[in-house]
Structure 1
Amino acid sequence: MGYRKPLIGFSLFAVLALLLTYTIWSTLERAVPGQTNEYTTYFSDASGLHSGDDVRMAGVRVGRVSDIALDRNRAKVTFDLQTDQTIFSNTQASIRYQNLIGQRYLGLDLVEGAEQKKLEPGSTLEEPSQDSFDVSALLAGFQPVFDTLEPEQVNQLSESLVQTFQGNQVSLSYTIEQIGKLAADFGNRDQVIGALITNLSAVMGDLSSQGDQMQVLVKNLAGLIEGLNGNSTSLGASVDSIGDATSRLGGLLGRIRPDAEQLGQSLRDTTGRMIGIGSKLDQLAIDLPLFLVHFPMVMGQGAYLNIYACELDVSIGGVLFPPGLISQIGGTQHSVVCR
C-alpha cells in the first residue's frame, strides 16, 4: 500500500510527458495533411535545402521534402505531394528562399511552351531543375574590400561625416582629406580590386544564367512599387492618423499621471497600515473559520436569520422590574437549542 500512491503519481507524470512529447514532435514535423504521392527531382546544387522543408505551388504549401541524397555527383531530392495536386512533364522544380534567415523551400512551376502530360506517382521530373543561389558567395566577393579597411579609419570617417552635416567647417576639410586618402589607398591596391572583380564575376555569371528569374523579380518589384504609389494617399492618411493617435495617447497619459501617482501613494499607505495591524489580521485569520463554521446554523432554515432568545431579562433602575423577575416568567427550562 505504501508504494501505490508514488506509483500512480509516476504513471500520470509519464503519460503526461509522453503526450507533451508527441504534441511537440507533431508540431515540429509539420506533416502534410491527407494522402500523398512521392516524386523525385535532381539538382546540381541543393545547398540550404533540408528534409522536412516545404514544397509549394504558387506560394501554397502542398507537400514536404522527405529525403535528400547524393546520386552520381547530383543531389537527389525526394518529396511528398498531396494526392489532389498534379505533376506534369513541364513542371520545373527550383530551390527558393523562404525567409531572411536562410530557410528555403522547393518550388514547383509550369514551364510555358513545353509539352504537358501528367506524370504518374513515383516519377522523376523531366524539366531541368533550378539550383540554389548562394548569397554567401556574394558577400564573400567583398571580402578583399573589408580586409583593406581599418576600424580606426572607418570610425574617424564616420565621425567627421556626422560633424560635417552638423555644420563644422573644420570637419568638412578633414572629411575631404580622409576621402582623398581612401581613394588614393584604393588606387594603389590594384590586386585587391582585381580580386574583387574576380570574385564577383562568378556571382554575376550565376545571376546571368538565371535571367528568367531576375526578369520576374524586376517585374514583381515594379508591380509592388506601382501598388505603393497608387496607395500613397491612403498610406499618408494612415501615417497622419497614427501620429494623431500617438499625440492623444501622450496627452491622456500626461493627464492621468498625477492620479496614477496618487493611487500609488495610497496603495503604499494602505500596505503600511496593513503591516502595522499584522497581529490583528493574524487573529482574524484564526477566528474567521470558526465564525464561518457556525454561520450556516444561523440561516439553516431559509433566507432569514434563525435566532433564539434563550434568556431575556428587563430591569429599570433595579427598582421597577427587579433583576431576574422577567426571566422567571414562563419557567426556567430551556429548549434543546439553548442547552
Structure 2
Amino acid sequence: MENKSHALAAGAFVLVVVAMLVGLAAWLTRDTGEHRLFEISSHESVTGLQEQAPVRYKGVTVGRVQSIALDREKAGNVLVRFAVDGTAPMTTATFATLGFQGVTGLAFIQLDDSGAPSQALATNDEQPPRIPMHASLLSRLSDQGAGLLTQLDEASQHVNQLLAAGNQKKLMDAIDHMGQAAANIGQLAHAVDQSNLGGMVKDAGVAFKSLKTNADRLGEMSDSVGTSADAFKRMSERMSGPGGTLDAIAQGSDTLLTTGKTLNTTLVPRINRTVDDTARTVRHIGRAVETVNDNPQALLLGNGTVLPGPGEPGFSQPNAR
C-alpha cells in the first residue's frame, strides 16, 4: 500500500512538472504585438498554402495566414486572410506572390513593393483591405511551357523542310549541272586551243545557258533555305533573348538552388540541435524514473546520505547474526 501511495505521488509530481513546462512554453511563445488584417483574392491556385503559414515582407516574417476560403464576391477566386504586425509597411503599392519553401512543397505569402509612389493602407478588421496577387515564378514557367513546346515544334518543322528530299535533290542537281558547266568550259578551252571559233562560240553558248539554269536553280534553293533559316533565327532569338523562355527557366533554377542552400545551412543544423537536446532530455527523464522506481521515498525524503563502503573512511562492518 505504501509503494502505491509513493507511485501515485510520483505520477502526480510528473504531471505537475509537465503542466508547468507546457505553460512556460506557451508563455514564452505568446504573441503580444498589435496585428493588422489584410486579404488577398487570387484567381491563381494556392496549393501548398495552409493556415498559420508565414507571411514575409521581402524575406522577413511579419505575420501569419489566418484563414483560406472561397471568395463569395468573385466566383472562382480564393480568399486568403492574413495578419501582419505593425512593422510591415503596407501601402497601395504592396503586392503579394506565392512562394515555396525549398523542396517541401509548403507555400507562404511573399509581400513586396513595386516602388511606385504610394500611401499607407488604412486597416479595418470588419472589412480588411485587399492586396493584389501576382503570378509566382512557377506559375509563369508553367504558362510559358506551352509556348516553349510550340516553338520547339516549329523549329523541328523548319529543320525537316530544310532537309526535305526535294531540297536535297535540288542541291544534287545543282552540283551535277555545275560539273557539266565545268566540263563545257573545259571543252571551250580546248576549242580555243584548236582555234575552232565556230565550235567555241557554240560551246560557249551551251555553257552560258547551263550556267544560267544552274544559277536559277541555286537561287530557288537559296530562297527556300533562307526562309527556313530566318524562321529558325527568329525562334532562337525569342527563346534566348532577355525575358525569354530560357531566361525564365534559368531564373527558376537559380531560385530553387538558392532555396536548397538556405534549407541546408539553416534548417538542417537546427533540426540536429533539437534532436540532440531531445535525446539528452529523454536520458535525464529516464534516469529520474529509474531513481523513483528504485527508491520512491526519494521524492519526499531526498536521496539521503550514502553510507561508506569497505575501504572508505568511516566504514564499520555490520554485526554478523
- On whether the aligned pair clears a TM of 0.5, the verdict is no
Which structure is higher in RCO with an 8 Å CA cutoff and minimum separation 6? 2
| TM-score, normalisation: structure 2 | 0.39
| TM-score, normalisation: structure 1 | 0.37
